Amino acid sequence: MVVFAGESPINARWYNQAFDQAPLVTATGAHYIRAHSTARMYDSVREAFYVARHERRPAVLGVPYDLQKLPLPGLSEYVSSSSLVPETGRTPPNPDMLGRLVERLAGAQRPIIIAGRGAVRSGAQAAIEELADACGALLSTTLPARGMFDHNPYSIGVAGGFSTEIARELFAESDLVIAAGASLTYYTTDGGALFPKAFVAQIDERPRGLKDGMRTADLFVRADAKAGIEAATWELASGGAKAGFRSVELAQRIALAAPDTAQFSIAPGTFDPRHVVAELDRVIPKDWEMVSGSGHSAYFQTHMRGRRPEQFHVMREFGAIGNSISIAIGVAAAENNGKVVLIEGDGSLIMHIQELETLKRHGLRLLICVLNDGAYGAEVHKLRQDGLDDSGAIFGRADFGSIARGFGLRGATVAELSQLQSLMRDYDAQRNAEIWNVPISDLVTSPTMRRLKAKGHGVM
Helices and strands (DSSP H and E) totals, the chain = 17, 17
Q: Which does 204 bind (CB under 5 to 8 A by kind): ligand TPP, Mg ion, none?
A: none
Least Å distance, CB 305 to Mg ion, is 24
| Binding segment toward ligand TPP, per CB under 6 A, in 144-152, 230-238, 281-289, 376-384 | 376-384
Strands 340-345 and 312-314: unpaired
107-115, 283-291, 308-316, 341-349 -> range binding ligand TPP (CB under 6 A): 341-349
For residue 386, the Cα-to-chain-centroid distance in whole angstroms is 28
- Binders of Mg ion among residues 362 to 401 (CB under 5 A) are 373, 377
Phi, psi (rounded to 5 degrees) for 343? -110, 120
Query: DSSP assignment of 191-248, as one string?
Result: TTTS-TT-EEEEEESS--SEETTEE--SEEEES-HHHHHHHHHHHHGGG----TT--H
CA dist., res. 103 & res. 236, Å (int): 8
Is 377 one of the binding residues for ligand TPP (CB under 6 A)? yes
Q: Which of residues 339-368 bind Mg ion (CB under 5 A)?
A: 345-347
Question: How many residues are given for the chain?
Answer: 460
228 binds, among Mg ion, ligand TPP, none (CB under 5 to 8 A by kind): none
Q: Using the rule CB under 6 A, is 272 a contact of ligand TPP? A: no
Task: By CB under 6 A, name the one of 322, 338, 401, 439 that touches ligand TPP.
Answer: 322
C-beta of 45 vs 328, nearer to ligand TPP = 328
Three-class SS state of 416: coil
- Letter string b/e over residues 103-142, b meaning 16 or more CB atoms within 10 A of that residue's CB: ebbeebebbbbbbbbbbbbbebbebbbebbbbbbbbbbbb
Q: Is 161 in the site for ligand TPP (CB under 6 A)?
A: no
170 and 111 Cβ atoms separated by less than 8 Å: no
Instruction: Pick from 296, 307, 339, 397 the residue near ligand TPP by CB under 6 A.
Output: 296
Phi-psi region at 320: left, alpha or beta (left = phi > 0; alpha = psi -120 to 50): beta
The pairing of strands 111-115 and 2-7 is unpaired
Q: How far apart are the first and last CA of the chain?
A: 29
Q: In the complex, what is the shortest distance from the CB of residue 311 to Mg ion, in angstroms, rounded to a whole number?
A: 25
Could you give the string, one character per residue 76-105, with x where binding to Mg ion holds by CB under 5 A and - elsewhere?
A: ------------------------------
H or E element, residue 13: none
* 220 contacts: CB under 8 Å, gap ≥ 6: 97, 201, 202, 204, 207, 209
Q: Which does 321 bind (CB under 5 to 8 A by kind): Mg ion, ligand TPP, none?
A: ligand TPP
Contact call for residue 322 and Mg ion (CB under 5 A): no
- Counting contacts by CB under 6 A, is residue 309 touching ligand TPP? no
| CB closer to ligand TPP, 102 vs 404 | 404
Q: With binding defined as CB under 6 A, does residue 345 bind ligand TPP?
A: yes
The phi and psi torsions of 208 (rounded to 5 degrees) equal -125, 130
One of 111, 116, 147, 347 touching ligand TPP (CB under 6 A)? 347
- Min dist CB 152 to ligand TPP, Å, is 30
379 touches ligand TPP by CB under 6 A? yes
- Pattern 412-441, ligand TPP, x by CB under 6 A: ------------------------------
Q: Which of 379, 383, 369 shows the shortest CA–CA distance to 440? A: 369
- Which does residue 355 bind out of Mg ion, ligand TPP, none, counting CB within 5 to 8 angstroms by kind? none
Give the residues lining the site for Mg ion (CB under 5 A): 345-347, 373, 377
Instruction: Catalog residues that contact ligand TPP under the rule CB under 6 A.
Output: 293, 295-297, 319-322, 345-348, 371, 373, 375-379
